[in-house]
Amino acid sequence: RAPQDAHLSDYTDEGYTVIPADNGTTVDKEKLAAVVTNAVSTLEDDLDLDASGVYENAAVATDDKNLNELAENLNRCVNSKITFTFGSSVETLEGSTIKEWIAVSDDNSVSVDSAKAREYVNSLSRKYDTFGQPRHFRTTAGDEITVTGGSYGWWTDRPATAAELTEAIMNGQSGNLDVVYRAAAAQYGDSDIGNSYVEINIGAQHLYVYKDGQIVCESDFVSGGLFKGNNTPDGTYPITYKEQDATLVGENYSSDVSYWMPFNGNIGMHDASWRSSFGGHIYYLSGSHGCVNLPVSKAKEIFGYVEK
């Protein structure tokens, strides 16, 4: 019976184990001849073949250092159990998947296939990211509409998240791993804007500020000039930042404002002390360059509610 080297088992829920070596019962004939010759020449009555070492041995012993280190390194990776939490939804990554990502080099070192980790992160991103996607929205007037465009929502930093996932697996980490985001929303789920937001109704030239689901402020405004092609863009946007006593500079204009709340590049909400009236159809012929112009008192009030 030929010797069998010690080797790793197939993957199970418990990981990998070392299958012990089996030296078998194959005789090395030259060694056998030598020990028999010696026994005859020394007039031995008995010859213990096991003790004489005449059988062939397995090339890889059960206690082989490299083999046992390989098992330890593999198990550290596949015994990871990593979860990603998206609100009420949880995605779990376990050894049965991780084992397909593991590569073993000629020197028995272990690595994680970064391309497979990246594809896994990509699949999570495709499933849960909401950045720039259309949103179903119920207006204050009670209409169910779909809002398209904008630059708001969950946006996964795929390379950074994949790198952290790879490191977590190599370290044998278990538990929740946070996704790295380029942009974040207020909450997970179908209504990721949450219940604190500003609803800007261009057609009505009127806006509402919601805080924790309640209207806390509302105001008429003047938006971008319709007939001059300066329309205020539709969409869902985050407040980029807010600034007091800013100077807005554009082509052929410079305006000092007290309350500046941009949400789309150089377009935002701000006070317009130079206007005496707001709302109605002013924006048809005498609209802004794209911003939402507000009475000073209302801009101040809104400024106190909104956050970056």
Residue 169 has pLDDT above 90, yes or no: yes
**What are 101's two structure tokens?**
């990502």
CB distance 279 to 206 below 8 Å: yes
Mind listing the pLDDT tens digit for each residue in 57-106? 899 999 999 999 999 999 999 999 999 999 999 999 999 999 999 999 88
User: DSSP character for 133?
Assistant: -
Maximum Cα interatomic distance, the chain, rounded to a whole number of Å: 126
Averaged pLDDT score across all residues of the chain:
95
Mind listing the pLDDT tens digit for each residue in 179-220? 999 999 999 988 999 999 999 999 999 999 999 999 999 999
pLDDT given at position 69: 93
At 167, the pLDDT band (50, 70, 90 cuts) reads very high
Show the beta-strand stretches assigned E in 105-188: 110-112, 135-138, 144-147, 155-156, 175-176, 181-183
Mean pLDDT of 147-163: 97
Mean pLDDT of 159-180: 97
Residue 150 has pLDDT above 90, yes or no: yes
Mean pLDDT of 269-273: 97
The one-letter amino acid code at 24 reads G
Pairing mode, if any, of strands 292-294 and 243-250?
unpaired
At 138, the pLDDT band (50, 70, 90 cuts) reads very high
pLDDT given at position 130: 96
**What are 213's two structure tokens?**
């689901």
**What are 174's two structure tokens?**
């278990």
Residue 226 has pLDDT above 80, yes or no: yes
Element (H, E) at 52: helix 49-52
Mean pLDDT of 1-24: 93
19: Cα separation from own chain's centroid: 38
Cα distances from 260 to residues 70, 158, 256, 298, in angstroms, run: 60, 33, 10, 12
Size of the chain, expressed as the number of residues it contains = 308
Residue 252 has pLDDT above 80, yes or no: no
- What is the rounded (10 degree) CA torsion for 134, 197, 182, 144? -10
Please, which residues bridge with residue 257 across strands? Answer: 246
pLDDT given at position 80: 95
pLDDT given at position 202: 96
Residue 111 has pLDDT above 80, yes or no: yes
Tell me the three state secondary structure of residue 86. strand
pLDDT given at position 251: 77
Q: Which of 134-143, 151-160, 251-260 has the lowest mean pLDDT?
A: 251-260
In a 10 Å sphere around its CB, with 0-12 CB exposed, 13-18 middle and 19+ buried, how is residue 7 labelled?
middle
